[in-house]
Amino acid sequence: MEINDALDLYNQYIIAEKGLSLQTSKSYMSDLKKFFEFYDMKKDTSDLIGEDLLDYFKHELATGNSISTALRKLSSSKNFYLFLKKEGYLEGDIPDIETPKKPERLPSCLSIEQVEDLLDAPDLTKPDGIRDRAMLETMYASGLRVSELLALETSRVNLDKNIVTIYGKGAKERKVPLGDFAVEYIVKYINEVRNKNKGKKSKYLFLSKYGEPLSRQYFFKQIKKYALQAGIEENISPHTLRHCFATHLLESGTQLRAVQTMLGHENIATTQIYTHISTKRVLSAYDLYMNKK
């Protein structure tokens, strides 16, 4: 069968039988068009062999495409070959190709100076500014998940011992140190704001002006607002402070196992991603220094 006829047949198959959208099928066919631009000498399905896939994948990597792009194009062409094999238009085996792992997207991390600017952004002349400063300080000082911060109960915060007790994923308990600045602003918040709040008898530490627990959406908007005020151009979220907590600890020489415990990661492999961020930041600073010499 001629290649063009085979492509038309495959396009009908992925739309009618696989139920893919027109947009998705167009993406598949676009990838296959590029595949056969590379193999422009192949005019018939009898010209195709399984090794074509490996050679094309190597070509894609060699031309500077990202691993993600090369993997996507390999997947498109391999699915086409599998279809031809099933329909009896392709002989021989389709090899298993050992591919590099798709790189994990590293979380955003701010410099220590940027974090300080973010923490300084809330207006301490206003009750919600005092509360938000206490929340930001707590999150950065202890690496809490946003859900853990918003669900934090007053009984779980020991201001005398600078310890906060967290019930994380799977209801697992962990104790995390609380820095002096976080304690200072929590005390300020309790004395000047929370004790005057209509919900002061609530078990939750951080409350809205109506005495209710805060929502994730609200805190997300506040983070965005303070980042804008601080002149931070990076796209950040409440989770960014947790990333910064881990990265800055590792940069200061804290052991990976200790960071794993404080973050509440069950698997140390989850924590190891921060070693890549930390190394990248250190190398970046080193390169900048060397370029200035």
- What's the average model confidence in pLDDT over 163-168? 82
**Cα 26 to Cα 186: distance, rounded to the nearest angstrom:** 55
Tokens read off for 246? 């881990």
From the list 246, 252, 292, 254, the residue with the least C-alpha distance to 273 is: 246
Catalytic (active-site) positions: 145, 169, 239, 242, 265, 274
pLDDT at residue 58, as a whole number: 85
Beta-carbon count within 10 A of 225 CB: 13
Handedness of CA 245, 145, 135, 111 (dihedral sign): positive
Angle of CA points 198, 204, 206, to nearest 5° = 75
- What letter would DSSP give residue 159? T
Tens digit of pLDDT for each residue in 28-46?
A: 999 999 999 999 999 999 9
**Cα 62 to Cα 150: distance, rounded to the nearest angstrom:** 48
Do β-strands 163-167 and 157-158 pair in parallel, antiparallel, or remain unpaired? antiparallel
3-class SS string, 180-198: HHHHHHHHHHHHHCHHHCC
**Cα 182 to Cα 32: distance, rounded to the nearest angstrom:** 56
Question: What are the chain's domains?
Answer: 3-87 (1.10.150), 112-292 (1.10.443.10)
Q: Is the pLDDT of residue 148 over 60?
A: yes
pLDDT band at 157 (very low <50, low <70, confident <90, very high): very high
pLDDT at residue 273, as a whole number: 59
pLDDT at residue 239, as a whole number: 79
- What's the average model confidence in pLDDT over 219-228? 92
pLDDT band at 185 (very low <50, low <70, confident <90, very high): very high
Least confident of 28-42, 192-206, 244-258, 269-283: 269-283
Residues 6+ apart with CB under 8 A from 189: 130, 131, 133, 134, 206
- What's the average model confidence in pLDDT over 59-81? 84
